[in-house]
């Protein structure tokens, strides 16, 4: 299943540019804090802020040494996010609390977390920053902690940060989708325009956490165009090619921007659905069946309808590595193919893709 490979980019390479920008951001944060202490305070740099700045600088340097395993760029960036958020919280507390002019520095770890982390870990970072700001506000506010005045001031400060996090996360999702589309165009299947096996396998490995990235929920659809051999025999290979393009077009209409479809073999396709649970994947399979069947194929002599068999596997339920998940999807595809053949022979409507 993995024998045909082409050269692909390791997922960590996509983060290299971001790592360099984060390194620069660390030193800019330190420079802003120290300049504020020198210019805006009468007594110069306070000892606690100076010690915290030194600790943050040392930590930033250590995160760029090869002590973490190979392929752990995402983990480095996550540690960097937490370190930056902790440092900024301490500095805000020591430089005026809710009135500190350095509150806007919170935008840096929030933007970084939104670009790098999955949704639930981004929520942890946002929750920690929100809690830290609430504690800082409570310590320095004269208004009662449960008063409307305190809540209004807290929401006015935290609300824009949460909006920035949401917008940045949406932008990151769009960028990932664009990179996948670009990869499919660069190294795509010439007949259908979909991605190749190698591109999908690499994306699947990254989704499942192979190579040091963070494992995430995903579903996989293995799809087979029913009756391609007979279609070629009756109407010629050009009709068969048109049927394959019909399925590819149906996939493009059915899938989200973040999903990835690849041509797997002569009449097979595989679709990666990041973040999809079995129920959501089942719904996608049903929509795909309808999209394929509802589009007629012009063979030159008559219009015919195509159909597909679908096998579904989801992670982590059906496997935690690419080979296992692909094998289970193939097994479900074979079972669905047999059920559809039996239903056709018995004059019954075939059932949905097997997801047990």
Q: How far is 85 from 100, CA to CA, in rounded Å?
A: 15
Residue 332 has pLDDT above 90, yes or no: yes
Task: Specify the residue for token string 């997922």.
Answer: 11
Examine residue 54 and say whether the peptide bond preceding it is cis (omega within 30 degrees of 0).
no
* Average pLDDT across the chain, whole number: 79
Least reliable range by pLDDT among 21-30, 52-61, 200-209, 330-339: 21-30
- pLDDT, tens digit, for every residue of 110-128? 887 777 777 778 888 888 8
Residue 342 has pLDDT above 70, yes or no: yes
Give the tokens for residue 159.
């609300």
Q: What is the pLDDT of residue 125?
A: 84
Alpha carbons within 13 angstroms on the beta-carbon side of residue 342 total 7
Percent of the chain exceeding pLDDT 70 equals 75
pTM over 0.85: no
Residue 277 has pLDDT above 80, yes or no: yes
- pLDDT, tens digit, for every residue of 153-193? 666 666 777 777 777 777 766 666 666 566 555 567 888 98
**Which residues sit opposite 305 in a β-bridge?**
296
From residue 343, give the alpha-carbon distance in Å to each of 11, 101, 311, 338, 339. Answer: 43, 70, 17, 9, 6
Is the Cβ–Cβ distance between 310 and 288 less than 8 Å? yes
Residue 11 has pLDDT above 80, yes or no: no
Q: What is the pLDDT of residue 171?
A: 72
Burial of 264 (0-12, 13-18, 19+ CB in 10 A): buried
Residue 158 or residue 56, greater confidence:
56
Contacts of 24 (CB under 8 A, 6+ apart): none
Q: Provide the 8-state DSSP code for 353.
A: P
Selected from 3.30.70.270, 3.40.50.300, 3.90.1150.200, 3.30.1150.10, the CATH number assigned to the domain covering 193-345 reads 3.30.70.270
Residue 130 has pLDDT above 70, yes or no: yes
**Which residues sit opposite 313 in a β-bridge?**
220
Q: What is the pLDDT of residue 261?
A: 93
Q: What is the pLDDT of residue 262?
A: 93
Is the Cβ–Cβ distance between 110 and 165 less than 8 Å? yes
User: What are the domain boundaries of the chain?
Assistant: 11-177, 193-345
Q: How many CB atoms lie within 10 A of CB 90?
A: 20
Contacts of 108 (CB under 8 A, 6+ apart): 25, 29, 84, 88
Which uninterrupted H or E stretch holds 55? helix 47-62
Residue 250 has pLDDT above 80, yes or no: yes
- pLDDT, tens digit, for every residue of 301-326? 889 999 999 999 999 899 888 999 99
The torsion angle over the Cα atoms of residues 59, 61, 63 and 66, rounded to 10 degrees, is: -140
Residue 164 or residue 28, greater confidence:
28
Give the tokens for residue 156.
């006015």
Q: What is the pLDDT of residue 224?
A: 94
Helix (H, G, I), strand (E, B) or coil at 166: helix
From residue 194, give the alpha-carbon distance in Å to each of 128, 190, 204, 254, 286. Answer: 41, 8, 15, 14, 20
Q: Could you tell me if residue 144 is left (phi over 0), alpha (psi between -120 and 50 degrees) or otherwise beta?
A: beta
Backbone angles phi, psi at 167, to 5 degrees: -65, -40
Percent of the chain exceeding pLDDT 90 equals 28
Residue 222 has pLDDT above 90, yes or no: yes
Q: What is the pLDDT of residue 69?
A: 55
């Amino acid at each position: 299943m993995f024998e045909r490979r082409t050269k692909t980019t390791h997922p960590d390479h996509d983060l290299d540019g971001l790592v360099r920008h984060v390194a620069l951001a660390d030193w800019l944060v330190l420079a802003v804090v120290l300049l504020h202490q020198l210019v805006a305070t009468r007594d110069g740099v306070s000892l606690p802020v100076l010690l915290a700045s030194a600790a943050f600088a040392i930590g930033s340097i250590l995160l760029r040494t090869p002590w973490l395993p190979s392929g752990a760029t995402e983990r480095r960036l996550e540690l960097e996010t937490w370190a930056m958020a902790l440092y900024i919280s301490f500095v805000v507390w020591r430089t005026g609390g809710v009135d500190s002019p350095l509150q806007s520095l919170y935008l840096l770890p929030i933007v970084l977390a939104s670009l790098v982390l999955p949704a639930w870990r981004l929520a942890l970072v946002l929750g920690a920053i929100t809690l830290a700001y609430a504690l800082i506000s409570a310590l320095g506010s004269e208004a009662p902690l449960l008063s409307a005045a305190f809540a209004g001031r807290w929401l006015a400060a935290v609300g824009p940060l949460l909006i920035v996090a949401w917008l940045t996360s949406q932008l990151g999702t769009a960028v990932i989708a664009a990179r996948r589309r670009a990869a499919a165009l660069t190294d795509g299947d010439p007949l259908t325009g979909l991605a190749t096996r190698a591109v999908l396998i690499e994306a699947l490995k990254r989704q499942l956490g192979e190579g040091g990235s963070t494992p995430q929920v995903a579903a996989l659809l293995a799809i087979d165009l029913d009756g391609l051999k007979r279609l070629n025999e009756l109407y010629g290979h050009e009709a068969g090619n048109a049927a394959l393009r019909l399925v590819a077009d149906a996939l493009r209409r059915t899938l989200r921007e973040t999903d990835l479809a690849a041509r797997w073999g002569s009449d097979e396709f595989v679709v990666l659905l990041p973040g999809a649970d079995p129920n959501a994947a089942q719904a996608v399979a049903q929509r795909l069946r309808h999209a394929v069947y509802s589009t007629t194929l012009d063979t030159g002599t008559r219009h015919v309808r195509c159909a597909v068999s679908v096998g579904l596997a989801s992670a982590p339920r059906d496997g935690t590595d690419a080979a296992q998940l692909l094998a289970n999807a193939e097994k479900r595809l074979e079972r669905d193919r047999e059920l559809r053949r039996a239903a056709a022979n018995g004059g019954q409507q075939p059932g949905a893709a097997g997801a047990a």
